[in-house]
A and B are shown apart, each in its own frame.
Chain A
Amino acid sequence: MPKRSDSLPRYNFSVSDSIIVTDSGAKYSFDLIDSASYFPQYPGNIVSLTFDLLNGEKAPFNAKFKNTIVFLIESYFEKDYSNVLIYVCDSTDNRHFARNRLFQKWFDEFNTENQYEKYDIEIDTDGIILSSLIVRRDNFFKELIIDSYNKQILLEK
């Protein structure tokens, strides 16, 4: 089934370098870090999403950037129904709540057919940590990873 993001304008992505280049020449890294080892009970892929401005002017994310990120995420989910994505909102600059709102907005915008489910966790330690897990609705193993995710939250080492 074609992805909604297939037909939308987006920036070039270099698979070999994991780099997105915008029209203004800014370069962003985009990586899906293999994180399956933290959830050994789960049989499929689990990745942690990260993207970061490498050079160029920091600017608000425009529609083309959003389409690029969503396209890459949807492509990952298209590869296998059991793929799982987790992200932790970067809080080093205290803008984690804004990031969380932005990701929620993007998610709502592209999840119009409810093909994905998102589990948001707010961890209240000395500061607030915001983390989310996204699965395909048709993921046969979703209860397993959600249960494991909740259990791992309470695990301290």
Chain B
Amino acid sequence: MPSENQKTMENVKITIKTKKVPFFIKKMMEDKELVKSFHRGEISKEQLDAKKIRFITPI
């Protein structure tokens, strides 16, 4: 459960103590590593697609 909750107008900070890394954080970190590997030419676009990694363009 949150042990700290400091609220200002635009910023909220919460600290959570948990024994395991949350699932979505673990998956996001894995996705990031795969994307880095792709940009460095270590894996192909097809391998990224196979992992169902998609991008949203900012512009």
Contacts and interface: CB of A to CB of B under 8 A. Distances in A.
B14 interface: yes
Interface in A117-136: 117-125, 129, 131
Given A34-B56, A152-B22, A86 B10 contact: no
A22 interface: no
Interface residues of A, number: 49
B58 A157 contact: no
Given A123-B22, A129-B21, A152-B22, A31 B35 contact: yes
A119 B28 CA distance: 17
Contact of A122 (B10, B14, B52): B14
A114 interface: yes
A121 B15 CA distance: 6
Contacts of A21: none
A13 interface: yes
A154 B16 contact: yes
Interface of A: 13, 15, 18, 29-35, 37-39, 45, 47-48, 50, 52, 54, 72-73, 75-76, 79, 86, 88, 90, 111, 114, 116-125, 129, 131, 137, 150, 152-157
Interface of B: 2, 9-25, 27-29, 31-32, 35-36, 39-40, 52-59
